[in-house]
Structure 1
């Protein structure tokens, strides 16, 4: 994470450095990205960069952490707006997250993160000790918040263990769908965000209501 000197920078200079980092990691994968390009675009000397960050991994993880924090805030807002309705929240959250990931100003950065699994590469090349290197973003904050704010009266599952299992299935719909989108686009297929949202809505519907025909309907 950034050194204290980074947060003491004047805001315009800090914003230029952040933008330069986003631009570089959007242009290239983590492995191919260059500190030289970042400092050139930010207009700072190389020595100044190392006053703010340990290395390329450090600034990359800072960008990921910004994304994680923003996504956590969005998740909590949407959960509150739906009064703890898991499936109503999920549909709304997925829709808003897709807009941010695939249409927002940092869409190329997110594409590289998903396509190249750059957080694994960044952890591997980090110069920081492994015990202090940033961990891969995970769902624990989302799960803990869900367990505390979920309206379980709308679900057949009640225990924390069962709710956690259901939560992971719901989030899998999102992660699998985003992976599907990027892999298809990489292969030259024109997958629209509208089609992607419809795909996620269908999978959530299957998860919420099931896909098997009731016994009595089979014999009608």
Structure 2
């Protein structure tokens, strides 16, 4: 993660370095990205870079951590807007996350992360950074859910049951993201709108069941 000197930089200089890092990791997957390109675009000497970050993986994980923080904020906003309705808030959260990942300013960066699994390459070179990232985001989402979800709307009541349900709901998102990027890698075009519709359908099945009530009544 950044050294204290990074946070003492003037805001404009810090923003320029962050933008240069996003641009470079958007241009190339992690193994091919270059510190030389980052410092050239940021307009800083190589020595200055190492006053702010230990290495390439350090700044890469910092960008991922920024994404985690922003995503947590989206998650909490959705939970608040839906008064703890798990499925209602997840629908909005998934839509907002899709907009950020697939349509937003840094979509090429996220594509490189998911297509090439850059964080695994980075972890090979920076185990400290990898450990700092590992399960924090999952625990943060789950902890917030356990504290704020409206259990009166659910058949799941205990923390263990809500945790199980939460993981199933999050699987819908992760499976859909994997589906999108695997299709993209195969040269197919999947629009963000169709991906949102796909996730909404799976969430609906999870919330209400996949069995047609009319068919069930005939048994």
Quickly name the TM-score band, shorter chain normalised: over 0.9
Mapping 1:1-220, distance limit 5 Å: 1-126=1-126, 130=128, 133-136=131-134, 138-214=137-213, 216-219=216-219
Cα deviations by residue, 1:161-193 (Å, 9 ceiling, x for unpaired): 010000000001001101111110111111111
Q: Do the aligned partners of 1:72 and 1:142 also contact (CA within 8 Å) in 2? A: yes
Count the aligned residue pairs: 217
Contact conserved, 1:123 with 1:134, CA < 8 A, in 2? no
Unaligned runs of 5+ in 2: none
Cα deviation 1:129-184 (Å, max 9, x = unaligned): 64985333531100000000000000111010010000000001001101111110
Deviation track 1:9-48 (CA, whole Å, cap 9, x = no partner) reads 1111111100000000001111110000100110111000
Moved more, 138-147 or 206-215: 206-215
TM-score (norm 1): 0.94
CA contact 2:22–2:106 (8 Å) conserved in 1: yes
**CA deviation map 1:83-128 (0-9, x unaligned):** 00000000010011101111000001111111111111111112xx
Q: CA deviation at 1:216?
A: 4.8
Distance in structure 2 (CA, Å) of the matches to 1:116 and 1:45: 29
Q: Distance in 2 between matches of 1:194 and 1:17?
A: 33
Gaps of 5+ in 1: none
Measured in 1, the distance between the counterparts of 2:61 and 2:130 equals: 12
- Cα distance between partner residues in 1 of 2:129 and 2:113: 22
**Could you state the TM-score of these two structures normalised by the residue count of structure 2?**
0.95
Structure with the higher helix share, 1 or 2:
2
- Measure the CA separation in 1 of the matches of 2:72 and 2:212: 37
Partners of 1:203 and 1:216 in 2: CA distance: 20
CA contact (8 A) 2:86 2:150 kept: yes
Aligned mates of 1:176, 1:140 — CA distance in 2: 19
Is the Cα–Cα contact under 8 Å of residues 21 and 60 in structure 2 kept in the other structure? yes
1:88, 1:43 → 2: CA distance? 46
